[in-house]
Each structure stands twice: as C-alpha cells, then as structure tokens.
C-alpha cells in the first residue's frame, strides 16, 4: 500500500516535472522566436540601410547610364573597352597584372591609400607595365568619406600624396566609394573639379562582388554587347580581388577574340559620370 502510494506520488511528481519542462521549453522557444522576429522586422542598422540604398541607386544608375553616357563616350576607331579595378592593391593584384600582360590588355586601378602603403611594389609595377593609376580615397567608409566637403577632398588628397610618393605620378583620376550618386553632392563635385580632379564612375557594373563562380563574366559580356550596340565605349567596374582574378582570363580571351582593345583611362577620354539630376543629397538627409 505504502509502495503504491509512493509510486503514485512519484508518478505525480514526474508528471509535474514533465509539465514544467514542457513549459520551460515552450518559454525558451517563444523567447527565441520573439528575439528572431524582432531582429528581422525592426529597421536594419544604419550602415546596412546605407549599403542597401547605395546598391539600389547603383542598380538604377545602370539602367540610366545606357542612355545618359552615350554622348560621353563615343568610340573613335575600333572597339575599345576600359577595364577598371577598385579597392586595391591586394594579394590578387599580382595575378591580375600577369593576366592583363598575357592578353596585352591595359587597365586602370582606383586605389586606397592604406593599401598602396601596404603594397608599394604592386603600385610601381602597374605604372611600369603601362596601366592607369587613380585614387579611391582612404577609408572607403560611406559615413566618413561623404561626411563633408573637407573629408572628400582630404581623402583624395591623401591618396594622391601616397601614390605620388610611390610612383612620382600625380594622378587626378578619382573614383569615389560606391560611385558618385547619391552622396557626392553638387558642391562636393564642384570642389573636386576646382582642385583639378577628374571624377570617373562607370557604365557597366560587372557585379563581381555578388556574382560568384565566374557568372560576372557572362553578365559583363552581355552588357558590353548591349552598350556597344548603342555606340558607347564600355567603362567597366571590377574589383581587385581574387574571385575576380580567377575568371579574368575567360573575359580577356573573349574580348581579345572580338578584336577589342583594352586601354587605360587618361585625360583624353571624356569621363563617364553618374548625373545627380535630383538624386544627390547629403548623408542622413
């Protein structure tokens, strides 16, 4: 009898334990879900928002450039493509330079000053091998770079100084981080102009950042064909990175077969610039 009672008591205790356990589990699942949902649906971080905004702007810009840059970059004789590599030099630069040389191609590198300081030999090699060298600033941070006119000018001046100390070349070719729209406002543009800088955006974005497995090459070929069909000279945005280098031979072989000359940008070429229209505005406005 006593045993039966004990059994029953144990049984009730076990039941209670189980119920408590189930409640605890339910509570933790609910908590986890709430945290997850709050994280998902509340507004993203300002930086993420800015990056998304920039991406959208750039995507929209791609559509517009098909028409708006045509007048800027009419071809002279033969087919020409201007390849540009941003954000270097990096550990991929040596490979990129080797591939370019193999295909008798010239390109232009828009570089960040800390990276130039890290790899001065790569920068020298670019110049020795006849490539164009341009400036991409110091921080590559939207919030910092586009903060004020002084910051924009200061970053470009610093990059110019570093490039000159390595190569002796005082380049005025510049590309601002993520392209000039929307944060390079008209006063910023004016100030850069007044200092003699020549702003370069692009009319073809390879999307070599997010098109992996070499898909960027197909994307580029398609866009180059469309742009050439319109009579404009392609100015292609690429990045100095290993996943771009990996598939670069494929792109250059294609262009070579098409009889395309790959040249560097210089002062004789009319720059491709995204136009502000009513889209340019100061950060956080």
Residue closer to Zn ion by CB (options 223, 241) is 241
In the complex, minimum distance from the CB of residue 65 to Zn ion, in angstroms, rounded to a whole number = 18
Q: Which of 178, 249, 235, 242 is nearest to 212 (CA)?
A: 242
Q: Closest separation between CB of residue 86 and Zn ion, Å?
A: 4
Question: Crossing angle for the helix pair 242-257 and 215-229, nearest 10 degrees?
Answer: 40
Closer to Zn ion at the Cβ: 198 or 201?
Answer: 201
As measured in angstroms, the least distance from the Cβ of 149 to Zn ion is: 20
At its nearest, how many Å lie between Zn ion and the CB of residue 96? 15
How many angstroms separate the CA atoms of 233 and 79, rounded? Answer: 8
Q: Cβ(219)–Cβ(196) under 8 Å? A: no
Q: At closest approach, how far in Å is the CB of 33 from Zn ion?
A: 38
Q: Are strands 235-239 and 80-88 parallel, antiparallel or unpaired?
A: parallel
The token duo for 85 is: 């590599």
> Least Å distance between CB 172 and Zn ion?
18
Contact residues for Zn ion (CB under 5 A)?
86-87
Q: How far apart are CA 148 and CA 186, in angstroms?
A: 12
Name the residue number minimizing CB distance to Zn ion: 86
Q: Tell me how far apart the alpha carbons of residues 24 and 133 are, in angstroms, rounded to a whole number.
A: 62
Provide long-range contacts, Cβ within 8 A and 24+ apart, for 221-225: 221/251, 221/254, 224/81, 224/255
By beta-carbon proximity to Zn ion, the closer residue of 209 and 254 is: 209
Residue 276 is encoded by which pair of tokens? 């502000």
Residue 144 CB coordination number (10 Å):
15
Residue 247 φ then ψ, to 5°: -105, 5
- Residues that are catalytic: 86, 239
Q: Which is nearer to Zn ion, 87 or 201 (CB)?
A: 87
Q: Smaller CB distance to Zn ion: residue 173 or 260?
A: 173
Q: Which is nearer to Zn ion, 106 or 136 (CB)?
A: 136
């Amino acid at each position: 009898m006593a045993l039966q009672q004990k059994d029953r008591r144990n049984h009730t205790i076990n039941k209670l334990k189980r119920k408590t356990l189930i409640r605890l589990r339910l509570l933790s699942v609910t908590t986890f879900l709430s945290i997850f949902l709050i994280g998902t649906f509340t507004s993203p971080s300002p930086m993420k928002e800015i990056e998304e905004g920039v991406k959208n702007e750039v995507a929209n810009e791609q559509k517009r450039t098909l028409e708006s840059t045509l007048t800027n970059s009419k071809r002279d004789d033969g087919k020409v493509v201007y390849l540009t590599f941003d954000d270097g030099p990096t550990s991929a630069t040596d490979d990129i330079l080797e591939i370019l040389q193999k295909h008798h191609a010239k390109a232009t590198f828009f570089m960040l000053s800390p990276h130039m300081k890290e790899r001065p030999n790569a920068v020298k090699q670019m110049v020795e091998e006849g490539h164009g060298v341009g400036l991409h600033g110091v921080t590559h941070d939207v919030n910092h770079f586009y903060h004020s006119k002084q910051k924009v000018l200061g970053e470009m001046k610093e990059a110019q100084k570093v490039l000159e100390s390595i190569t002796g070349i005082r380049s005025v070719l510049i590309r601002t981080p993520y392209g000039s729209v929307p944060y390079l406002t008209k006063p910023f543009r004016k100030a850069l102009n007044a200092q003699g800088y020549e702003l370069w955006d692009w009319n073809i974005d390879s999307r070599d950042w997010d098109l992996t497995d070499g898909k960027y090459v197909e994307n580029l070929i398609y866009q180059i064909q469309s742009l050439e069909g319109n009579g404009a000279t392609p100015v292609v945005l690429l990045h100095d990175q290993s996943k771009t280098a990996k598939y670069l031979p494929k792109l250059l072989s294609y262009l070579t077969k098409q009889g395309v000359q790959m040249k560097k940008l210089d002062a004789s070429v009319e720059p491709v610039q995204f136009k502000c229209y009513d889209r340019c505005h100061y950060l956080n406005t």
